[in-house]
Structure 1
Amino acid sequence: MSIHFFGRLPDGTAISEIKLSNAAGASASILTFGAALRDLVVPVEGGEPRRVVLGFETLDGYLENNRYLGVTAGRHASRIDRGRLVIDGVEHQLSLNEGGVHLHGGVVGFSRKPWRIVETDESSVTLGLLSPDGDDGYPGALDVRCTYRLLEPGTIAITMTATTDAPTVVSLAHHSYFTLQPGTSVRDHRMQLHAVGYTPLGPDLVPSGEIVDVAGTPYDFRALRPLADPKGDPDFLYDCSLVIDREGKADARGLVRAVRLVAPDESLAMEVHTTEPCLVFYDGAGLASDWPAVGGIPHAPHAGLCLEPMRYPDNPNQPAFPSAILRPGELYRQVTEYRFF
């Protein structure tokens, strides 16, 4: 583990980069800005270690970062319709940063804040953030922790926790763009996603409130198949929330295998194991090469995909979805592992 200066924010705040590595040849780079995973390299059997996430070469890319590369999204990831939040009969207006919608925590959100280093050891770093009452409109002061741990031979484990001094909502998400074969389209990757349903979206990408069976839809990834639309529509894009099949499948830590992803040439695979009930799958259609990239990997459309475990999207406005309310004395906790082999 080592810590390096990465850059300064416009207000002069210094941003650090924490580098982790292990004996198998894996390495990870984490920034204190946005608690972002800037780089991840994993071993490949019979080949050279491979970069598997998209990132920016300099801090300037992260200061804009409208596509949320690598960041920790919160207080509430995904979309909240009209920024409307009602808790115990009290309405709170959240900031709006995508038309009339609150996205990934709002105008600032956790992804555009400097975090602090709380603790480090040889294989991990824990970052902390104090989000004050009223931050982007959310009630309650929130104390957040995000731990990145690099496990042998090629796993990045992410643990997020939060406590509050007043009722609020919390749904954090890790937002890396993954590619198992840099330079190829993720549409050529194959994926198996253990989901029993998906949440249909309206034109503003806000859920309708239904949970629909994936059978017979383009969202059916229960069997390993290419990411491209099964009906061959080249314009079909994936940006959807799927309900993970957790029934009787969790291990002693509450983790279930949600996803298996395989490179086009089958040289590398990744599994996502998580404690969360939902996962947002985005195929990176909106990526663009607007800032210099780590490793020179072009950020073209479909250069990487997001697999974001979280609570149900827009649950504050969808009575059929489980609530993400966190109250004083309770602990919010999410564990997600991205395992490469």
Structure 2
Amino acid sequence: MAAVSQVGSTASGQPISQYTLSHGSNLTVRIMDFGATILSVHVPDAKGAMGELTLGYDDAAEYVAGRTPYFGTVAGRVANRISKGSFSVDGKSYAVAVNNGPNSLHGGLVGFDKCLWTCEAHSATSLTLLLHSADGDEGYPGNLDVKVTYSLPTPTELRIEYSATTDAPTPINLTNHSYWNLRDGGETDVLDHEIELAADFYVPVDETSIPTGEIRAVSGAMDLRTRGRIGRAITEADNGMGYDHTWVMRGGLSSQDGLRAVSRVYDPVSGRWMVVRSDQPGVQFYTGNYLTGASGRTGGKYSRNHGFCLETQKFPDAINVTHFQDIVLRPGQSYRHVTVHEFGAAAAAPEAAESEESGAGGRSCGPFSSCFNV
């Protein structure tokens, strides 16, 4: 069974539990039921030394107080932004909580990140959490039942699987909002991390980070198809603010695992690498542009660019853009979303391998684990 301990309590006094999953000596993940939050991921570096990969805290106090920028949480009912907090479903208009300038972000004022989830089952390598979101929560229609399973299917993989059902049509777009720093868990910046995104297009946004509706070919600072430093052109992105955009994933789903390539990241100091695969059509790549120097896990500061996010999801404001993916879940349907993070370490950046599963529009690494010759 997973090791279980109490890491705090909610504002109303309900205990908050932490579950520690491990698979051998190469991967340990700690998750709490408040916000279905990944608190910590430990993997070895190229010399075999275990280290932290995520930004966050070891107890629940900062999360309960609402003082974290979604560190490791599940964002929902709708991750990312909804323009002006309004939308319609089947001709009926809805207004949801506005909490990010003129827009709604990550489910509103009390999104899934601020809810206490229920443990359905846990083992040494798996944890399943449940949440019931009642009709009218944050303005959303329909009773929604959500399940998230974190598992370690191998000693090098973290798998996140989401599912949901509803009794009335409602938008849903879930993601995990972990901030990654493969070097030291956020003590220094990530600008020297090397990243590659399997995307030939991205979604431009307006001054409030709402999509314009265009799907634009990558170029300049937005072209991350070749592995290179995160900081190589970051000052040219979003008027100097950095990356906070959705990229459009290339190619179809793999016949092997039903997923597609998303990204690979390598830290040349620790030697750690991470490969992300998902069945979602987009990924929000965010470079911690609004981290303000809050005290970190070990007493250091989580300052600007000290972490990056790779939030697999459907496109922002898709509920209001007819040519984006339909995010309305209806009675009798089941929402499903799978993302896998694969970890490893090497003295030098592993090179990409060609795959027979090349997608339309350019090169692809198929299941993307084959992108590393390790």
In the alignment, structure 1 residue 283 sits paired with structure 2 residue 284: no
Question: Could you tell me the percent identity over the aligned residues?
Answer: 35
The Cα shift of 1:188 comes to 0.9
Which of the numbers 175, 178, 183 marks the counterpart of 2:177?
175
- Which amino acid in 2 is paired with 1:125? L
Which residue number in structure 2 is paired with residue 76 of structure 1?
A: 78
Give unmatched runs, 5+ long, in structure 1: none
1:188 aligns with 2:192: yes
Which residue does the alignment assign to 2:308? 305
Q: Aligned residue for 2:146? A: 144
- Distance across 1 between alignment mates of 2:63 and 2:248: 30
In the TM superposition, residue 296 of structure 1 has moved relative to its aligned partner by 4.1
Q: Distance in 2 between matches of 1:262 and 1:122?
A: 28
Residue 297 to residue 158, structure 1, CA distance change in 2 (3 Å)? farther
Aligned position for 1:336: 339
Question: Which region of structure 1 is more displaced relative to structure 2, 41-50 or 225-234?
Answer: 225-234
Compared CA separation, residues 113 and 239, structure 1 to 2 (3 A):
same
C-alpha separation in 1, matches of 2:69 and 2:155: 29
**2:46–2:270 contact (8 Å) kept in structure 1:** no
1:122/1:129 CA distance change after superposition, 3 Å:
same
Q: Does 1:238 align with 2:243?
A: yes
Residues 252, 297 of structure 1: alpha-carbon distance in 2 compared, 3 angstrom cutoff:
farther
Bigger mean CA deviation after superposition, 327-336 or 229-238: 229-238
What is the RMSD of the two structures over their aligned residues, measured on CA atoms?
Answer: 1.6
2:234 matched to 1:223?
A: no
2:62 match: secondary structure: helix
Q: Which moved more, 1:3-12 or 1:18-27?
A: 18-27
Contact 2:169-2:328 at 8 Å conserved across structures: yes
CA drift of 1:316 comes to 1.1
1:210/1:320 contact within 8 Å kept: no
Distance 1:289 1:30 in 2: 24
The TM-score normalised by the length of structure 2 is 0.87
User: For each residue in 1:199-223, what CA deviation from the matched residue of structure 2 results, as whole angstroms up to 9, or x when unmatched?
Assistant: 1110111111111001x23111111
Work out whether residues 43 and 154 of structure 1, in 8 Å CA contact, stay in contact via their aligned partners in 2. no
* Letter in structure 2 aligned against 1:7: G
C-alpha separation in 1, matches of 2:122 and 2:298: 26
Task: Name the count of aligned residue pairs.
Answer: 338
Paired amino acid for 2:42: V
Q: Taking structure 1 as reference, are residues 285 and 37 closer, same or farther at Cα in structure 2, changes over 3 Å only? A: same
Aligned equivalents of 1:158, 1:60: Cα separation in 2: 24
The answer on whether the counterparts of 2:182 and 2:270 sit within 8 Å (CA) in structure 1 is no
- Are the equivalent residues in 2 in contact too, given 1:105–1:136 (CA < 8 A)? yes
Does residue 2 in structure 1 map to residue 3 in structure 2? yes
Question: CA shift at 1:286, angstroms?
Answer: 1.3
Distance in 1, Cα, partners of 2:74 & 2:235: 33
SS in 1 for 2:302: coil
> Unpaired runs of 5+ in structure 2?
345-374
Call closer, same or farther: CA 1:275–1:249 in 2, change over 3 Å: closer
**What is the match of residue 22 of structure 1?**
23
Following superposition, the deviation at residue 229 of structure 1 comes to: 4.3
**Which residue of 261, 272, 281 corresponds with 2:276?**
272
Displaced runs of 4+ in structure 1, greater than 6 A?
Answer: none
Shifted more, 234-243 versus 100-109: the winner is 234-243
1:77-116 correspondence to structure 2 within 5 Å: 77-116=79-118
CA distance in 2 between counterparts of 1:231 and 1:255 reads 28
State whether structure 2 residue 52 is matched by structure 1 residue 51.
yes
Q: In the alignment, is the contact (CA less than 8 A) between 1:200 and 1:207 conserved in 2? A: yes
**Are 1:326 and 2:329 counterparts?**
yes
Q: Note the C-alpha offset of 1:300.
A: 1.5
Give the conservation status (yes or no) of the 8 Å contact 2:22–2:28: yes
Q: Distance in 2 between matches of 1:150 and 1:307?
A: 19
